[in-house]
Structures are given as C-alpha cells and as structure tokens.
C-alpha cells in the first residue's frame, strides 16, 4: 500500500462491481459503525502509537467524523470530480493536525484490519482488493491536496482574540486577528482549536466579508457538549491565541444571477448569511435582499445593531426579525418557516438558508411546499456537526451548487 507515485497523477477509479462491493460492505455493517471505528483506532494506535498525539483526548467526535468522511467519500467513488474536490480539500485541511504523507499507509492497514474483522462471514479476496484500491484512490487524493496546499498556505494560522463580547448567557462574538493574511470568501468557515482543549477542533463561519484590516468575526454559542464552543464563550479573553485551519465551504451568492435574494438565518446561522450580505455590499446595486433572522426570545436577536447598520447603508436590504417564544415581542412572531411563508411566495428569488439541522429542514420543506424551485435554494447547517469536506450532509450537498 505505497503512495510514492506522482501526487498530481489522476487516480485510478473503481469500476461498478468494485463500488458495488464496497457499498454493500458498508450497508452490512448496519449499527456496527461505532465498533468498526473503535477497532480501527485501536489497531492504528497499536501499530503506530506515536500517531495518538495527533488526536484529541476524547475520541467520540473524532470517531463520528471519520465514519462520515469515509461514507461520504465512498458515496462519490462513481463521481470523480466530486470525489477529487472533497478529498483534496480534506487533505489540505488535515495538515493542521500534523498529518503527513507517510502516515497514510498505517491508516490504510488499520482500516482494512477493522473492516475485515467485522466482515468475517463475507470477507473475500475480491472485497479486500476493492477496499485496497478505494483506499489507494482516497489517500492519493488527500496527499495531492496536502501537497498542493503546502505550496501556497500554512497548515494553520495563529489568531489573537482582540475583542470578546458576551451577547447572552451562552453566546459570544469574537474578533480575531491572524498572524498572516487569511484569504476567504463570504459564506466560508474556519476550524478553530483553542489552548483550553488541545487537538479539539470546531468549525465556525466568518460573520463578515474580508476587510482591509484583516479582522475575522465569529459568533459562538456554547453547547452542552461543546468542547470548543464552551471555553470560547466562558473562558476566552482578549489576548488569548487560537489556531485556525484553512477556510472551507462553498456557500455563495451567484453574482451573475439577476434574481432578488431571500436569506433565512436561525441563531448563529446568522454568521455566514451576514457575511454574504456584507460581501454583496461591495458589488450589488440592483438586487433586493430580504433577511429573516429567527430566534426563540427577543434577547436571542443578538446582532440586530450590526444588521440595522447594514440596512441603513444598503437600501436594497430589508431585515425582518422573527421571535417564536416571546409574546411581548413587537414584531413578527411564530416559527421562522411560517413567518417566511406568510410574507410572500419567493418563487422568483435565490434562497439561502442557514441554521440548526431541524430549522433548516423545516424551512426548506416549507419553501418547497409553496413552490420555490429546489435549484434556487442553498443550505448550510450549524452546530457541532458543521460539515467537513468529505461528509455527507443531506441538505447541504443536495442543492448548494446550482445557485452559485
């Protein structure tokens, strides 16, 4: 299982029979995925104990990410363009962990060992050959992505917190200055590691478009199981230093479209939407934008000051706050999907939705029901399961591409 060939070479893809074998083997795992991933890590750390230092102390989240990444990549084995995009980005991102090309062989052996152990009754030479070939393709693309990224950017950026403002009991807005230019597009996100939980990374969307001062704004909500979010809200202070991975994500506003734009944001899903609108302020002159910003309580509308300022200087922007659980709120009340549906048909708009998975699904389903075409909707999700490059997020990947 060597990877000494040219990292820029086109990978040898699998035929339909090989892909079928791999798909079926994953299906047969059923509810054993946790055990398979646990066995994989045990095998990996026995063979290469020095690699344990690359991983966080608590492995639960890492196990989930690995299996989602694996199934996401397998799902695209028959789509070379998507597979290449996903895995070169994943290889680029993994540089922040200290992963090097020579690590991939050991990872491959541990993966085959784990799969073989949990497929004892069906493991045949043909299945092993298919998995070896698939892993060779996936590893080669990740190595290629890492190699190409190393020529133009660091593995991670050092960021200093220059402002930290608590907007509610569980939410803070952070402003970070990086040690070198951090080039990103509005709508993208960065993975962040704190000094309080080494080797634990969590993704957060930038909340503004790139600015001349190079400052990055992040909206962070503390979650009950958030190893990174909690310390960023409760413990972080001005002067602390963070690590930032390379920017990722493909949420965009298509500048070539002439349609007006409907933006729907729930909670900290506001961050990428606000960045998109801030970016539009640099080039938009004719397209109207309506932003619905939803929260449970009035106090959760944590960034209305900035939104009002954006609307004041951009006549094409209308901001509609919506509160679901506060009878005293003097404005749009109710669930966000209902408020949006009441306000118009939106069938001739480009639509961007960002929020929790439940909010996003409910909103997309409601928009579909009132006739908004699927190819005009782009979605993102927020939370500890923010999508990574090779994960399958049913909402995000299904329709993000068409409206760019």
Three-class HEC string of 86-109: HHHHHHHHHHHHCCCHHHHHHHHH
DSSP code per residue over 247-312: -B------TT--S-EEEEEEGGGHHHHHHHHHHHTTT-SS--EEEEEEESSGGG-TTHHHHHHHHH
Q: What is the pLDDT of residue 193?
A: 94
In this predicted model, what pLDDT tens digit does every residue of 193-216 receive, in sequence order?
A: 999 988 888 999 999 999 999 999
- Average the pLDDT over 278-294 and give the result: 96
**Nearest residue to 404 (alpha-carbon basis) of 286, 248, 252, 262:** 252
Output the pLDDT for position 60.
62
**Count of other CB atoms within 10 angstroms of residue 64:** 16
In b/e form, how buried is each residue of 31-44, taking b as 16+ CB within 10 angstroms? eebeebbebbbebb
Confidence category of residue 35, pLDDT binned at 50, 70, 90 = confident
Residue 84 token pair: 């290449």
Quote the CA–CA distance of 127 and 18 in Å, as a whole number. 8
pLDDT of residue 10: 43
Of the pLDDT bands very low, low, confident and very high (cuts 50, 70, 90), residue 225 is low
pLDDT at 386 over 60: no
pLDDT given for residue 58 in this prediction: 62
**C-alpha span between 244 and 307 (Å, rounded):** 26
Backbone φ and ψ for 199, nearest 5 degrees, come out as 70, 5
Higher-scoring residue by pLDDT: 226, 145: 145
Q: Please provide residue 274's backbone torsions phi and psi, each rounded to the nearest 5 degrees.
A: -60, -40
State which of 24-33, 43-52, 230-239 shows the largest mean pLDDT: 230-239
Res 397 pLDDT > 50: no
Q: What one-character-per-residue DSSP string does 114-181 give? A: HHHHTTTTT--HHHHHHHHHHHHHHHHHHHHHHHHHHTTS-S-EEEEEEEEEEEETTEEEEEEEESS-
Summarised one tens digit per residue, pLDDT across range 70-100 is 778 888 888 888 899 989 998 999 899 888 9
Please name which of 72, 62, 71, 95 lies closest in space to residue 197, comparing C-alpha atoms. Answer: 62
Comparing 61-65, 132-136, 184-188, which segment has the lowest mean pLDDT? Answer: 61-65
Q: With contact defined as beta carbons under 8 Å apart, do 265 and 273 qualify? A: yes
Between CA 404 and CA 383 the distance in angstroms is 24
| Residue 297 predicted with pLDDT over 80 | yes
The better pLDDT of the pair 382, 82 is held by 82
Work out the average pLDDT over 365-391.
72
Position with higher pLDDT, 1 vs 395: 1
Alpha-carbon span 197 to 384, nearest angstrom? 15
User: Of the ranges 97-101, 267-271, 322-326, which one carries the lowest mean pLDDT score?
Assistant: 97-101
- Domains of the chain, start order: 16-150 (1.10.490.10), 157-244 (2.40.30.10), 261-399 (3.40.50.80)
Q: What is residue 332's three-state secondary structure?
A: strand
User: What's the mean pLDDT when you consider all of the chain?
Assistant: 87
pLDDT band at 391 (very low <50, low <70, confident <90, very high): very low
- Residue 352 or 55, more confident: 352
First to last CA, the chain: 39
Question: What is the predicted pLDDT for the residue at 211?
Answer: 94
Q: Look at residue 382 in the predicted model and tell me its pLDDT.
A: 63
Q: What pLDDT sits at residue 76?
A: 87
Question: Which region among 94-103, 220-229, 283-292, 363-372 has the lowest average model confidence (pLDDT)?
Answer: 220-229
**Phi and psi of 314, rounded to 5°?**
-130, 100
Q: Is the pLDDT of residue 276 over 60?
A: yes
Query: Which pLDDT score, from 0 to 100, does residue 63 have?
Result: 62
Mean pLDDT of 25-49: 86
Percent of the chain clearing pLDDT 90 (strictly above) = 65
């Amino acid at each position: 299982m060597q990877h000494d060939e040219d990292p820029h070479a086109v990978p040898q893809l699998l035929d339909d029979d090989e892909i079928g074998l791999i798909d079926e083997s994953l299906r047969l795992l059923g509810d054993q995925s946790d055990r398979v991933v646990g066995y994989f890590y045990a095998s990996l750390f026995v063979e290469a104990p020095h690699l344990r230092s690359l991983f966080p102390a608590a492995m639960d989240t890492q196990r989930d990410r690995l299996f989602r990444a694996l199934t996401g990549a397998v799902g695209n084995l028959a789509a070379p363009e998507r597979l290449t995009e996903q895995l070169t980005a994943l290889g680029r991102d993994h540089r922040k962990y200290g992963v090097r090309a020579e690590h991939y062989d050991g990872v491959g052996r541990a993966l085959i060992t784990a799969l073989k152990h949990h497929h004892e009754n069906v493991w045949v030479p043909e299945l092993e050959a298919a998995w070896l070939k698939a892993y060779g393709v996936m590893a080669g693309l990740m190595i290629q992505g890492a190699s190409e990224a190393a020529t133009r950017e660091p593995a991670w950026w050092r960021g200093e917190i220059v402002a930290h403002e608590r907007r509610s009991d569980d939410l803070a807005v952070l402003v970070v200055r990086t040690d070198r230019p951090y080039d990103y597009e509005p709508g993208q996100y960065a993975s962040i590691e704190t000094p309080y939980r080494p080797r634990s990374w969590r993704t957060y969307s930038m909340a503004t478009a790139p600015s001349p001062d190079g400052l990055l704004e992040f909206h962070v909500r503390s979650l009950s199981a958030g190893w990174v979010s909690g310390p960023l809200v409760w413990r972080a202070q001005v002067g602390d230093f963070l690590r930032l991975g390379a920017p990722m994500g493909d949420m965009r506003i298509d500048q070539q479209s002439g349609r007006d734009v409907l933006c729907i944001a729930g909670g900290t899903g506001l961050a990428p939407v606000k960045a998109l609108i801030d970016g539009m302020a640099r080039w938009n002159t004719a397209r109207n934008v309506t932003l619905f910003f939803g929260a449970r309580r009035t106090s959760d509308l944590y960034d209305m000051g900035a939104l009002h300022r954006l609307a004041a200087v951009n006549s094409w922007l209308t901001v509609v706050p919506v509160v679901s659980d506060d009878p005293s709120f003097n404005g749009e009340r109710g669930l966000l999907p209902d408020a949006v549906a009441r306000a118009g048909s939106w069938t001739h708009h480009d639509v961007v939705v960002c929020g929790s998975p439940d909010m996003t699904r409910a909103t997309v389903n409601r928009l579909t029901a009132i006739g908004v075409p699927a190819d005009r909707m782009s979605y993102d999700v927020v939370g500890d399961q923010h999508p990574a490059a090779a994960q399958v997020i049913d909402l995000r990947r299904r329709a993000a591409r068409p409206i760019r």
